[in-house]
Amino acid sequence: MSGASDIDRRTRGFRASFLRVRATFIKEFIQLRRDRVTFATMILIPLMQLILFGTAINANPRHLPTAVLVQDDSSFARSFLAAMRATDYFDISLTASSEAELDHFILSGQALFGVQIPAHFGRDLIRGERPEILVIADATDPTATGGAVAALNGLSQTVFSRELVGPAAALAPKKPPYDLRVHLRYNPAIETRLNIVPGLVGTILTLTMLIFTGLSVTREIERGTMESLLAMPIRPFEIMLGKISPYVVVGGLQMSLILIVARLLFGVPVEGSLALLVALTLLFIVANLSVGYTFSTIATSQLQAMQMSMFFFLPNMLLSGFLFPFRGMPQWAQAVGELLPLTHYLRIVRGIMLKGATFADLQADVLALALFSLAAMTLAVARFRQTLD
Amino acid sequence: MSAQTTSEPEIVIDVNGLTKSFGGPPVVRNLTMHVHKGLIYGFLGPNGSGKTTTLRMLCGLLTPDSGTGTCLGYDIRTQTADIKRHVGYMTQRFSLYNDLSIRENLEFVARIYNLEHPRRATQEAIDRLGLADRADQLAGALSGGWKQRLALGACILPQPELLLLDEPTAGVDPKARRDFWDEIHQLAHEGMTVLVSTHYMDEAERCHEIAYIAYGEILAQGTVAEVIAGAHLSTYTVTGPNLADLDETLKSLDGVDMVAPFGVELHVSGRDAAKLEAAIAPFREKGPQTWTRGEPTLEDVFIDLMSRIKDNSA
Ligand SMILES: Nc1ncnc2c1ncn2[C@@H]1O[C@H](COP(=O)(O)OP(=O)(O)O)[C@@H](O)[C@H]1O
Ligand SMILES: [Mg+2]
């Protein structure tokens, strides 16, 4: 039969395989386009996260509500409060009239700091009796108070320089016999959003890519379309590539959106090569897509696939260095973190955007991402059920 | 397409002793089936008898627990990739994409089979199936009959040599069913082999050969005439008043194996002609019903086959 040999010839070879991947790509893309909710989610999730994280999160907050109990009316007390205000960390908005009231301000959360300047503070200071100023900090959230407490310590050097002149000059603190120069590179103003926004590119891509591919195979099974698909001459790796590739495009769009908004809204720069950033982000996208796809070949329902994706997403959030400093984590957590794609991508994206890192600087992380993708894809193809048994 | 010139037509489906279970008792048991090229082969049986499972084993979607066989000469265990290239499988439940249009669905299929001109082939299929007016409607919005046409169209688009159709006309109106069968006959005429499962008796009569399966076992195989003859049933058709009462009385008689109402008639059959005659003689004399000796229908035979199985397992 001529038709028989014909189809054998047509369906073999690399070109035929590529055409089947393309056919699947087209099909997935049309389906994606028709699915308005998913499409909207893909645009809205990044925008919402970016704006929320970019504007709301500040690991080095300033203008924190502060209550004072001033029992001394010397110029020392006024100078100290003025110096506190000048650090920008303290917003002295509450005045207590007793220690009990000061405690209440802290307990009720109205103030994060309470400052008590005791009676005769100025007099005792001049007499050299080393009077104490009590600063109470609500340290339940160390991030909120850390920067401010550090700023307080710095105060003591200079706070009374105007008062301690003439005979009292001997009481002024001595300068150390050397100068310490600290360079805060890449983010001199210590703005959290410069660290957070590039990290957000990574978390947003992880979340959306996992969810969308996580559903792709289970959806075919749940809708019953898998039976037809499996009866056709298409191979598992072709299905995988065809299903993953539309989301590489989607991920690319999300990345562009985030970078543009980050630039326009938050002034986050791209110090290094934009082309390198795009190329490595695509690699990262592929890594996550292959994980999501693997889940989708293992899960038996869309719900299960979602749960698996969430299960994978959490350690990515927590152990990658996105929320907490990677180097501050215990050894075991760092070891786990090294296995997660987001960890490597954060180094890449922060490196390129903030530090102007080049490919040579990032080689190890690129290799890790590539190996990760390859392993996940191999697992997915191996796990893909080609029969309905 | 090659014409059937040889006197010994080639065997397209050749399976022996297929057994399949899903953890429990086998749902297909020791199934042997030979289907010749160019035939329309009907696969009949009640729901849950293992028709879908058998079709899935034939096209490589399920692996049999035991048994061997070939489809178009390809081993059903090891050469499933080849089978998929040459076999068109129409699933019982619509399994194309509801969120794609008719055209998009067909184009997808055409591309997966690497047709040279997928767009042109799609357009030809649309015209051939009379789907031109609806080509850009989403498949999910089509009525059952049109979905069925689309599914058939997708199956035959790559010009397979063997079609496996799983209850293709279930829930379709009579006119659409007739069109569907005309189409299938046309395809068989062009050299395609068709294995079609159904539980409509009138459709069985339109097949060249049939197999009847119940509880996972094939109970009868051959042309309709052969299957009827093979059952060795003697049948009487009874018309007249009080058939319902008569039905009850006859059922308990020795020699009467089956009583089945067909509209205003009662079909009374027995496997042993002499015993049947003896049993019904008093009723024929007494009246008031009229008794005529008739040929058993396919349905009589199937009902009898089922009851024999029940008797054996009881
Ligand atoms: N994937 C499966 N898992 C478990 N049981 C199945 C599966 N597929 C079919 N069965 C069971 O096998 C029996 C035969 O089913 P099926 O082949 O669909 O019959 P038919 O098509 O003749 O109605 C039924 O009892 C059904 O419940
Ligand atoms: Mg069935």
Q: What is the pLDDT of residue B7?
A: 55
Q: Whose CA is nearest to atom 17 of ligand 1?
A: B50
* Spatial separation of the C-alpha atoms in residues A164 and B16, rounded to whole Å: 107
Of A222-226, B75-79, B265-269, B305-309, the least confident = B305-309
Q: Do A234 and B112 touch (CB under 8 A)?
A: yes
CB A320 within 8 A of CB A202: yes
| Helices and strands (H, E) in chain B, number of each type | 11, 14
Q: What is the pLDDT of residue A5?
A: 64
**Domains assigned to chain A:** 64-185 (3.40.1710.10), 193-388 (no CATH)
Q: What is the pLDDT of residue B2?
A: 44
CB A151 within 8 A of CB A87: yes
Q: Is the Cβ of A383 closer than 8 Å to some Cβ of chain B?
A: no
Question: Tokens at residue B277, please?
Answer: 């005659």
Q: Is the Cβ of A385 closer than 8 Å to some Cβ of chain B?
A: no
* Spatial separation of the C-alpha atoms in residues B286 and B283, rounded to whole Å: 5
* Spatial separation of the C-alpha atoms in residues A145 and A112, rounded to whole Å: 8
Q: What is the pLDDT of residue B313?
A: 58
Q: Which residues pair with B15 in a beta bridge?
A: B33, B69
Radius of gyration of chain B (CA): 22
Q: What is the pLDDT of residue B202?
A: 85
pLDDT at B6 > cutoff 70: no
Higher-confidence residue of B272 and A369: namely A369
Higher-confidence residue of B18 and A122: namely B18
Q: What is the pLDDT of residue B140?
A: 95
DSSP state of A66: E
Mean pLDDT value across chain B: 89
pLDDT at B4 > cutoff 60: no
Q: Do B161 and A4 touch (CB under 8 A)?
A: yes
Residues B143-167 pLDDT 10s: 888 999 999 999 999 999 999 999 9
Of A239-253, B184-198, B261-275, the least confident = B261-275
Q: Whose CA is nearest to atom 25 of ligand 1?
A: B48
In this prediction, residue B78 has a pLDDT band, given cuts at 50, 70 and 90, of very high
Q: Is the Cβ of B62 closer than 8 Å to some Cβ of chain A?
A: yes
Which residues of chain A fall short of a pLDDT of 50? 1-2
Q: What is the pLDDT of residue B311?
A: 63
**Domains assigned to chain B:** 11-227 (3.40.50.300), 234-295 (3.30.70.920)
Q: Do A27 and B100 touch (CB under 8 A)?
A: yes
Question: Tokens at residue A98, please?
Answer: 């007793």
Mean pLDDT of B277-303: 83
Q: What is the pLDDT of residue B255?
A: 81
CA of B312 to the centre of ligand 2 (A): 25
CA of B177 to the centre of ligand 2 (A): 18
Q: What is the pLDDT of residue B115?
A: 94
- Candidates A19, A30, A34; nearest CB to B114: A19
Query: pTM to 2 decimals?
Result: 0.84
**Position in ligand 1 atom list of the atom nearest CA B55:** 17
Nearest partner of B166 among A228, A352, A121, A88, judged by Cα: A228
Q: What is the pLDDT of residue A1?
A: 43
Q: Whose CA is nearest to atom 16 of ligand 1?
A: B50
Residues A200-216 pLDDT 10s: 889 999 998 998 888 88
Q: Do B61 and A30 touch (CB under 8 A)?
A: no
Sign of CA dihedral B128, B130, B134, B140: negative
Residues with CB under 6 A from ligand 1: A 388; B 22, 27, 45, 47-53
CB B65 within 8 A of CB B76: no
In this prediction, residue B199 has a pLDDT band, given cuts at 50, 70 and 90, of confident
Of B79-83, B167-171, B188-192, B310-314, the least confident = B310-314
Mutate to test the pocket of ligand 1, among B18, B19, B22, B58 (most ligand atoms within 8 A of CB): B22
* Spatial separation of the C-alpha atoms in residues A16 and A238, rounded to whole Å: 10
Tell me, what's the ipTM? 0.88
CA of B22 to the centre of ligand 1 (A): 8
Mean pLDDT of B42-70: 94
* Spatial separation of the C-alpha atoms in residues B236 and B239, rounded to whole Å: 10
Q: What is the pLDDT of residue B314?
A: 47
- What are residue B3's phi and psi, to 5 degrees? -80, 160
Q: What is the pLDDT of residue A30?
A: 95
CA of B52 to the centre of ligand 1 (A): 7
Q: Which ligand is nearest to the CA of B43?
A: 1
List the end-to-end C-alpha distance of chain B, in Å, as a whole number.
Answer: 50
- Candidates B1, B81, B109; nearest CB to A1: B1
Q: What is the pLDDT of residue A165?
A: 73
